[in-house]
């Protein structure tokens, strides 16, 4: 059964008879969502922050393929969460509706698997609009 909540997921770390490790995520009967898009973020200066938005429908799985990225999230109840992705075998499942920021360390690469095609209509980029949604959700 699918558990629809924000959480860290440990992906398999395969060793095999070759040097190094191999991790993977695949669609299965217990898949989090059907993957409709993949994108990746790179060349972000050390300490720089991106994000500053939430999504109304989008579900995502974030994997830091190199380096380290700190993810800060806030949900509609006003609860705040912080995760550090620093291994390619660690994935963060993000459900809607979370305000997010991602702080990158030098030479980090963040890969994202998404449940929907890109749509700016799904983005809430105004923090006051997000706060208004919080109020609506809690009254």
Q: Which residues are catalytic?
A: 53
Is the CB of 97 or the CB of 102 nearer to ligand T46?
102
Contact 93, 6 (CB under 8 A): yes
Asked if 51 interacts with ligand T46 (CB under 6 A), we say: yes
Number of helical (H) and strand (E) elements in the chain, helices listed first: 1, 10
Query: Interaction with ligand T46 in 92-121: which residues (CB under 6 A)?
Result: 100, 102, 112, 118
The distance of Cα 69 from the centroid of its chain, to the nearest Å, equals 10
CA–CA separation, 121 and 41 (whole Å): 21
The torsion defined by the Cα of 105, 110, 115 and 116, in degrees rounded to 10, comes to 90
50 binds ligand T46 (CB under 6 A): yes
Binding mask 55-74 for ligand T46 (x = CB under 6 A): x----x-x------------
Q: Supply the minimum distance, in Å, between the C-beta of residue 2 and ligand T46.
A: 20
Conformation bin of residue 65: beta by default, left when phi > 0, alpha when psi is -120 to 50: alpha
- In angstroms, what is the minimal distance from the CB of 55 to ligand T46? 6
* Residue the block writes with tokens 């993000």: 94
| Shortest Cβ 100–ligand T46 spacing (Å) | 5
**Per CB under 6 A, 75 contacts ligand T46:** no
Residues that bind ligand T46 (CB under 6 A): 37, 39, 41, 50-51, 55, 60, 62, 100, 102, 112, 118
């Amino acid at each position: 059964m699918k558990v629809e909540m924000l959480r860290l997921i440990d992906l398999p770390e395969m060793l095999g008879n070759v040097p190094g490790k191999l991790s993977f995520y695949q669609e299965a009967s217990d898949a989090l969502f059907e993957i409709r898009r993949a994108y990746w973020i790179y060349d972000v200066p050390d300490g720089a922050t991106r994000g500053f938005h939430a999504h109304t429908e989008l579900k995502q799985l974030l994997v830091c393929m190199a380096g380290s990225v700190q993810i800060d999230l806030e949900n509609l109840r006003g609860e705040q969460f912080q995760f550090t992705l620093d291994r390619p075998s660690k994935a963060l499942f993000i459900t809607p509706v979370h305000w997010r920021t991602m702080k990158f360390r030098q030479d980090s690469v963040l890969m994202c698997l998404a449940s929907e095609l890109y749509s700016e209509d799904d983005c809430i980029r105004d923090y006051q609009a997000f706060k208004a949604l919080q109020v609506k959700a809690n009254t």
